[in-house]
Amino acid sequence: MRILDYLFVLRPTLYFAVWTVFLCGVRAARVFGEARIHGGAERFWLLAAAASFTMGSVFIVNQLKDVATDLANDKLYLIARNEIPARRAAIEAGILLAAGLACAAAAGIAALVLCLALFGIGGLAYSYEPLLWKNRPFLGLWVNAAGAFLIFGLGWIALSPFRLPLFRFGLPYVLAVAGVYLLTTIPDEPGDRQAGKVTFVVRYGCRATTLWAMIAVAAALVGGGVNRDPIIGIPALGALPLFALAAARRELRDVLRAVKFGIFLQALTVCAVFPAYLLLLAVVFFGSKLYYRRRFGVDYPSFQT
C-alpha cells in the first residue's frame, strides 16, 4: 500500500470541491457566457488537468508547512509522520506544478495566469513567510475564497473568455466555498491554537464563525436566485438549514454534518449536468475508503459525524 501514499498525499477527497467548482465554471460559461471559445474536449481536459495538478502541488506544499498542526490535530499522516520524507514530497510538488503550468500554457495565457495565481496565493502566500496568510483570519478566508474563484475561472475559460460576467456568476460559488471553509476550521481549533495557527475560529470563536458561515451560504442562495442559477441555488437552499443548525447549537456533529452534506449536495447537483462525474466521485470515495482502512485502520471518508 505504501506506493499509494504518493497518490493519497494529494488528498483526493479535497478534489471533490476542486472538480465540482471547476465543472460549475464550465456549466456557467455554457449557459451565461457571452461568447464561445472553440477548442472542444482537448481544451476542457487541458484545463481540468491544469487545475488538478496545480492544486495537488498546493496541497503538498501546505502539508510541508503544517506538520505541527497536522500532528496536533491527528490528521494528514503521510508527511506529518514522515511516511513520505519531506524531500520526496517537495519533489512531487514540483513535478505536479510543472505539469499543471505546462497544461495551462497549452490552453492559453489566461489559464497560465490563473494557475500561477492559484499556486502563489493558495500555496506560497497562505503558508510561507513573509506573508503567512494562514495566520491572519480574514486573509486565510480570502485565500480560500480566491482559490474557489480561480478554479471556477479555469472552468469558465474552457468555453468563454475571461470577462466581467465571470465575476457575477462566480460570486455565489465563492460565497458558498467561504461558508464551508469557515466551518472546516472549527474541528481543527484545538490543534491550531496549540501550534500557534490563527484561523478565523481561533481569533473570533465558534459563535462568530458559524454565524458568518451561515450568512455566506445565505448570500450564495440569494446570488443564485438573482443569477437564475439553480446549480448553486438548489444546494445552497438544501444546505442552509444545516448551517443554521450549526450556528444555533454550535456542536461539532452539526458543524461536520453541514460541511459534508454541503459539499455533497453541490457535487450531486453538478452530476445532474455531468452524469459521468458521479462515477468519478464514487471511484475516489470508495477507493479512498479502502486505502485509509487498509493503510491506517481509519474509516475515512465517511458521512458519519
Could you report the per-residue pLDDT of 29-69, keeping only the tens digit for each? 999 998 787 777 899 999 999 999 999 999 999 999 988 78
Task: Say how many C-beta atoms besides its own lie within 10 A of residue 279's C-beta.
Answer: 10
What is the CATH classification number for the domain harbouring 107? Answer: 1.10.600
Percent of the chain's residues with pLDDT above 90? 85
Q: Is residue 48 part of a domain?
A: yes
pLDDT of residue 123: 95
pLDDT surpasses 90 at 303: no
Q: Which residues contact 30 (CB under 8 A, 6 or more apart)?
A: 159, 160
* 3-class DSSP state of 241: helix
pLDDT surpasses 80 at 305: no
Dihedral angle sign, alpha carbons of residues 126, 127, 128, 131: positive
Average of pLDDT values for 276-291?
97
pLDDT of residue 230: 97
Q: Whole-model pTM above 0.85?
A: yes
Nearest alpha-carbon partner for 32 in 273, 231, 229: 229
pLDDT of residue 6: 97
Nearest alpha-carbon partner for 257 in 46, 74, 249: 249
pLDDT, tens digit, for every residue of 78-111?
998 999 999 999 999 999 999 999 999 999 999 9
DSSP class of 305:
-
Q: Is residue 3 part of a domain?
A: no
Q: Is residue 241 part of a domain?
A: yes
pLDDT of residue 72: 75
- Range of weakest confidence among 23-37, 73-87, 216-230, 253-267: 73-87
Q: Is residue 304 part of a domain?
A: no
Q: How far apart are CA 96 and CA 301, in angstroms?
A: 24
pLDDT of residue 184: 95
pLDDT surpasses 80 at 248: yes
Q: How far apart are CA 174 and CA 21, in angstroms?
A: 9
Q: Is residue 12 part of a domain?
A: no
Q: Is residue 303 part of a domain?
A: no
* 3-class DSSP state of 195: helix
pLDDT, tens digit, for every residue of 268-277?
999 999 999 9
Q: Is residue 8 part of a domain?
A: no
Q: Is residue 291 part of a domain?
A: yes
pLDDT of residue 68: 79
Domain of residue 25, residue span: 17-296
Supply 72's cell numbers. Answer: 496536533
pLDDT of residue 77: 77
Average of pLDDT values for 146-174?
96
* CB-based contact 22:154 (threshold 8 Å): yes
Q: Which residues of 291-300 are buried (b: 16+ CB within 10 A; e: fewer)?
A: bbeebeeeee
Alpha helices for 66-164 (secondary structure H): 67-72, 77-80, 86-107, 109-119, 126-127, 137-156
Q: Which residues contact 305 (CB under 8 A, 6 or more apart)?
A: 252, 253, 254, 256, 257, 260
Query: How many domains is the chain partitioned into structurally?
Result: 1
